[in-house]
């Protein structure tokens, strides 16, 4: 295409009078429209990149389903907390084949930890309210988790907007009598910021 146009231009340049009124409008238009379709390394690459772009939103939706299940890969998951006092998942399923499991919490908001702090605490469902209440008394300096609370199976530190934290724990600890729950122990948050965690 470029070659043709160059030749055409050259031809016109050499014969200005002949090309001047006729060839410019129709001629470039025709090669221009056929050339991309046939030449096409760039054109075929474009549809190929369009396809991943269309599947990407689908996988993004799968990894961050508001109120859905956490995506687990290699005995680990990443969940999010935001400035609207929400986790992005309502359940975490830990594969029974995992001996250790890692939860990473990403605070996608902007608010400081003192105003909109989030952590992940894992307890039995029946212990959750009492652990959260005791955590309130422990203060933010203790991540709102009472020191030495043996009802707490695992917990991350308390983080603010833009921060990330994680915790790993022995999966056998949630293989007993459940059900088990994960929640944020920041005062008042556990009413909304909670979900189930189970081994399957």
Query: Do 168 and 98 meet the contact criterion of CB atoms below 8 Å apart?
Result: no
**Structure tokens of 85?**
């006092």
189 binds Co ion (CB under 5 A): yes
Query: 87, 101, 182, 186: which one contacts Co ion (CB under 5 A)?
Result: 186
Binding window for Co ion (CB under 5 A); candidates: 4-12, 91-99, 168-176, 188-196:
188-196
Size of the site for Co ion (CB under 5 A): 5
Binding mask 110-129 toward Co ion (x if CB under 5 A, else -) reads --------x-----------
Based on CB atoms, which residue is closest to Co ion, 160 or 199? 160
Query: Do 89 and 70 meet the contact criterion of CB atoms below 8 Å apart?
Result: yes
**Structure tokens of 57?**
């939103």
Beta bridge partners of 79: 105
CA distance 5 to 12: 10
Contacts with Co ion in 49-88 (CB under 5 A)? Answer: none
Beta bridge partners of 183: 121, 194
Residue ranges in contact with Co ion by CB under 5 A = 118, 184, 186, 189, 193
């Amino acid at each position: 295409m470029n070659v043709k146009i160059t030749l055409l231009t050259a031809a016109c340049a050499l014969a200005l009078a002949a090309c001047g009124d006729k060839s410019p409008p129709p001629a470039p238009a025709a090669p221009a429209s056929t050339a991309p379709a046939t030449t096409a390394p760039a054109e075929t690459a474009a549809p190929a990149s369009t396809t991943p772009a269309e599947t990407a939103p689908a996988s993004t939706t799968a990894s961050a389903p508001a109120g859905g299940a956490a995506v687990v890969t290699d005995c680990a998951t990443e969940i999010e907390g935001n400035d609207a006092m929400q986790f992005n998942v309502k359940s975490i399923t830990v594969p029974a084949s995992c001996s250790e499991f890692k939860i990473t919490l990403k605070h996608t908001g902007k608010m400081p930890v003192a105003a909109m702090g989030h952590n992940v605490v894992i307890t039995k469902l029946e212990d959750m309210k009492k652990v959260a209440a005791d955590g309130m008394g422990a203060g933010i300096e203790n991540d709102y988790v009472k020191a030495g609370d043996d009802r707490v199976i695992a917990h991350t530190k308390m983080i603010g907007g833009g921060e990330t934290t994680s915790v790993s724990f022995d999966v056998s600890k949630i293989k007993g009598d459940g059900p088990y729950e994960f929640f944020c122990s920041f005062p008042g948050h556990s009413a909304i910021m909670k979900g189930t965690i189970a081994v399957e």
